[in-house]
Amino acid sequence: MTDRWMVITVLIAMTLASALAVVYARHETRRTFVALQAAETARDEMNIEWGRLQLEQSTWATHVRIDKLAREKLGMRIPSTDNIVIIKP
Amino acid sequence: MSKQDKKKLQFPFRRAVVLTAFSVFALSLGYRIVDLHVLRKDFLQDEGNARAVRVVDTVAHRGMILDRNGEPLAISTPVDSVWANPKKLVTVRDRWPELAKAVGMKPRKLERLLASKAKREFVYLGRRIHPDRAARIMSLQIPGVSLQREYRRFYPTGEVSGHLLGFTDIDDIGQEGIELAYQDYLQGKNGSKRVLKDLYGQVIEDIESIRVAEPGKDLYLSIDRRLQYLAYRELKAAVKKHNARSGSAVLLDVQTGEVLAIVNQPSFNPNSRKGLTGDRYRNRAVTDVFEPGSTIKPFTVAAALTTGLFTPDSPIETGPGTMKIGRNMVRDTKNYGSIDVRKVIQKSSNVGASKLALAIPAETFWEVLNKAGFGNPTLSGIPGEAAGILTLASKWRDIERATLSFGYGLSATPLQLAQAYSVFATNGKLQRVTFQRQDSESTREQDVVQVMPATVALQVRNMLELAVRPGGTGTRAQIQGYRVAGKTGTVHKLGQSGYEEDSYLSVFAGLAPASQPRLIMVVMIDEPRSGEYYGGIVAGPVFANVMAGALRLLNVPPDDLESLRPRMAATETDVLATLQTSHGEGQ
C-alpha cells in the first residue's frame, strides 16, 4: 500500500515539476525572443548607420568631385611624357 | 464539546440555507471556470488574439550593388515620410505655423492643404525626407503627426552609371538595368512576426517569429568605378564638343570578358528622375544597334586569311577607287591603286574589302561573323538587349557580300562589337562578356568558340596596329608608350530614304597593349554635327584618352619601349639629365 502511495506522490510531484518547467520555458522563450528582437533592432540600426556612412563617404569621394578639386583647387595634372623617366632594369 | 454541539444545533435551518447558498455559489463559479476554460476556450482565445495580437512584416533590406573593388554603386537606406491626420490636427490650430516651418512649407500652403483634406484621415506632409529632419518634426510633439518608414535607393555615382544600374520604383523593385536584371538576387524576402499591440496600435511585446526576414544579397559587378567615371567624362566631353546626338562606350577586360565600363550619352541621374522620358533610360550600348561600318573589315580580312587563299602580302588592285557591282557602286575616299591586304585595313579601303569578300566562299565569311557573335545576343543579362541582325549567307547577292565586307547590311550593339574584337586579342577565341565580377578564371564555364586560327588573329592584330600608326586612319587613337591596335569606322546613317549623305556615325574599336592585349574598347558617337565626322577624329581621341587612363590605373606596363627610348635612364645621373633636357625644352 505504502509503495503505491509513494509512486503516486512521486508522479504528482513530477507532473507539478514538469508543469512548472513548461511555464518557465515558455517565459524564457519570450524573454529571449524579446532580447533577440532588441539585438536585431540594434543590428538593423547599425546597418542603416553603416549604409548611410558608406553613402556619405562615397558621395564625398565621387570622382567628379575629386577630379575637380585636384585640378582646380590643388592645381594637379597628369604628368606628361616629358616629365616621366623610365628606369632601365 | 456539548456546549458547542448545542450551539451548532441552535439554528439548523439557517445553517442549511447558508450552506446551500455557498455550495450553489461555488458550483456556479466552478461551472463558469469550466465554461470559460474548456467549453468556450477556442472562441474566447481567438477573440482575445484578434484584439491584441497582430502579425507584422519585418522589412528586408535590398542588397547593395558594388563595383569590382567593393565601392558602392547603389545603397538602400531608410528615409521617413511625415504624414498627418487632419481631423486631429484641426484641434491644434495655433501650432500650425510651427509645423509648417518644420516641414519646410509656407503656412498659407499648409492651411490650404489641410483645408482641402479636412474630411480625410491621412495626408502626406513630406515624403522621403532626411531622418534627422523627421526626428526634429516629431520632437515638436504635435498631435496627429506621425512618421512612416520607407526605403530609398541612392546611387552615389549618379549620372556616371545611371544607364548601367537602372533604378527601382517606389516599392524598391527594379525597373531598369542591373536593378531589373538581378531583381530576385538583390531583393530580400520580408519576414513576419507576431506581436502584442495595445489599444493605440503600439507594439508592446514581440511574441514569436513566424518567418525570419532574408536580406537581399550584395551584388558585385565587373565594373570599375574609376574607369567608369573616366569613360563617362571623356565620352561626355566628346559628345558635347562634336554636338552629337548620342554616344556610347564599352571597355572590356580581354582575359575574363568582364565589362569594366559602359557609358552612354545623354545620361540621366537615377537619384532624381523628374521629367525624364523613357528613351533617356535606354542603355544604348546594349539596346541600340547600328551598322558597324569599317570596323567589320578586320573580320572580312580574317575570313579571307582563314581560307588560305590570301596572305597579308597578297596584292589587291583597288584602282580606280571605285568598283561596279550590278547597278551599285562601291567607292573609296581616294584611289589607292594596287595595295596588299594589310593596307586594306590600314587605309580602310572599301573596294579592297569588297574584292576579298567576293573572292572567298560566302559561307566562310558568314561563319566568321556568326562565330564572332554578330546576330546573337551576348547573354549579358541586361534587359532589352538587342541581338543585331546578320542575314543568312544563302540569301546574299554579290552586292550584299560586298557591302557586308565594309560593315553595311548587318547591325550590332557597341557591346557586341567589343565582344567580337576579343577574337583579335585572345588568339582567335571569342571571350563572352559578363557584368558580374569573376573571382577566379575557373568559376565561369563557357564553351570557348575558336572563331579563327590563332595565327590569323595575330596577323589581323598586326594590321590593326598599322591602322593606328602614321599612314593609317586612326592615328588620333595613339597612346604614348603603348602599342595600340584598332579600326576606325565612319558610317552613313540610314534615313527615311536610304543612306544619308551628311549624317554619320563615328566609331572606333581597338585594343591595347597590342603586344599582350589587356583591354578592348569600343566608342560610338552618333551624328556628330560639328563638321568633323571621321571615326578616327571623333571617336579615336575618346578611345586614346580613356585607354591611356585605364592602362595607367590598372598598372599595365608600357610595351612600346621604342618610342620611350629617349625617356629611359639607367643611372641616377641619367635620370636628372633626362629630366633637365625636357625642362629645358619646356621653357
Q: How many domains does chain B have?
A: 2
Tell me: do B157 and B86 sit in the same domain: yes
How far is residue B34 from each of residues A19, B22, B48, B318, measured CA to CA in Å?
A: 20, 18, 18, 108
β-bridge mates for residue B194, sequence order: B55, B208
The residue among B220, B243, B261 that closes a domain is: B220
Beta-carbon contacts of B407 under 8 Å, excluding residues fewer than 6 positions away, are B291, B292, B293, B294, B295, B296, B297, B489, B491
Q: Which of B188-197, B378-387, B545-554, B578-587 has the lowest mean pLDDT?
A: B578-587
Interchain pair B568, A88: CB under 8 A: yes
Q: What is the mean pLDDT of residues B40-52?
A: 85
pLDDT beyond 90 at B502: no
Q: Are both B290 and B209 inside the same structural domain? A: no
pLDDT(B3) > 60: no
Can you tell me whether residue B331 is helix, strand or coil?
strand
Whether B182 and B122 share a structural domain: yes
pLDDT band, very low/low/confident/very high, at B9 (cuts 50, 70, 90):
low
Same domain, B182 and B239: no
CA distance A67 to B234: 13
**Count of Cβ atoms closer than 10 Å to residue A56 Cβ:** 11
Contacts B582 to A, Cβ<8 Å: 82-83
Give the HSE-up count for residue B584: Cα atoms under 13 Å, Cβ half-sphere. Answer: 6
The last residue of one of the domains, among B186, B220, B254, is B220
**Residue A1 pLDDT grade (very low, low, confident, very high; cuts 50, 70, 90):** low
* Whether B317 and B181 share a structural domain: no
Residue B70 belongs to some domain of the structure: yes
Instruction: Calculate the alpha carbon distances from B464 to B285, B370, B405, B451, B476 in Å.
Output: 23, 21, 16, 17, 14
Q: Which residue would you say has higher pLDDT here, B39 or A17? A: A17
pLDDT tens sequence across B310-358:
999 999 998 788 888 888 888 888 889 899 999 999 989 999 999 999 9
> Among the listed ranges B122-131, B162-171, B254-263, B519-528, which one has the minimum average pLDDT value?
B122-131
* Interface of chain B toward chain A, CB-CB under 8 angstroms: 61, 64, 71-72, 75-78, 154, 156-158, 160, 193, 205-209, 225-226, 229-230, 233, 480-481, 549, 552, 558, 561, 564, 567-570, 574-575, 578-579, 582, 585-586
Per-residue pLDDT at B510:
94
Interface test with A, best of B582, B583, B585, B587 (most A CBs within 10 A): B582
Question: At B291, is the pLDDT very low, low, confident or very high (cuts 50, 70, 90)?
Answer: very high
Q: Which of B168, B194, B220 is the last residue of a domain?
A: B220
Q: Residue B174 and residue B166: Cα distance in Å, rounded? A: 8
Residue B370 has pLDDT above 60, yes or no: yes
Task: Name the residue with higher pLDDT: A81 or B281.
Answer: B281
Angstrom distance (rounded) from CA B196 to CA B55: 9
Which of B157, B207, B585 is closest, CB to CB, to A62?
Answer: B157
Q: In this structure, are B156 and B257 located in the same domain? A: no
Instruction: Say whether both B172 and B232 belong to one domain.
Output: no
Q: Is residue B197 part of a domain?
A: yes
Top mean-pLDDT range of A76-85, B429-438, B554-563: B429-438
Contact between B78 and A48 using a beta-carbon 8 Å cutoff: yes
ipTM of the complex: 0.70
**Residue B304 vs residues A89, B41, B321, B370, B422: alpha-carbon distances, Å:** 42, 89, 21, 15, 19
Give the pLDDT confidence score for residue B325 in this predicted structure: 87
Q: Residue B223 — very low, low, confident or very high, per pLDDT cuts 50/70/90?
A: very high
CATH of the domain at B506: 3.40.710.10
Higher pLDDT, A49 or B24: B24
- For B459, the domain range is 225-556
Please check the confidence at residue B207 and state whether its pLDDT lies above 80.
no
Percent of chain B exceeding pLDDT 70 equals: 94
B61:A37 CB<8 A: no
Rg over alpha carbons for chain B, rounded to the nearest Å, is 37
What b/e readout covers A2-13, taking b as 16+ CB neighbours within 10 angstroms? Answer: eeeeeeeeeeee
Render pLDDT for A44-72 as a digit per residue (tens, 0 to 9): 788 888 888 888 888 888 888 888 899 99
User: Both B205 and B280 in a single domain?
Assistant: no
Cis before B453 (ω within 30): no
Q: Are residues B214 and B234 in the same domain?
A: no
Alpha helices in B242-320 (DSSP H): 284-287, 297-307
pLDDT given for residue B576 in this prediction: 74
pTM: 0.80
Q: What is the pLDDT of residue B292?
A: 92
Percent of chain B with pLDDT over 90: 37
Amino acid at B501: E
- Looking at residue B543, its pLDDT comes to 95
Other residues' Cβ atoms within 10 Å of the Cβ of residue B227: 26
C-alpha span between A25 and A37 (Å, rounded): 18
Of the segments A82-86, B118-122, B264-268, which one has the largest average pLDDT value?
B264-268
- Banded pLDDT at B132 (limits 50, 70, 90): confident
The answer on B344 and B483 residing in a single domain is yes
Q: Residues B380-434: pLDDT tens digits?
A: 888 888 888 998 888 888 888 999 999 998 999 999 999 999 999 988 899 889 9
| Pairing assessment for the beta strands A86-87 and B568-569 based on DSSP bridges | parallel
A84 and B583 Cβ atoms separated by less than 8 Å: no
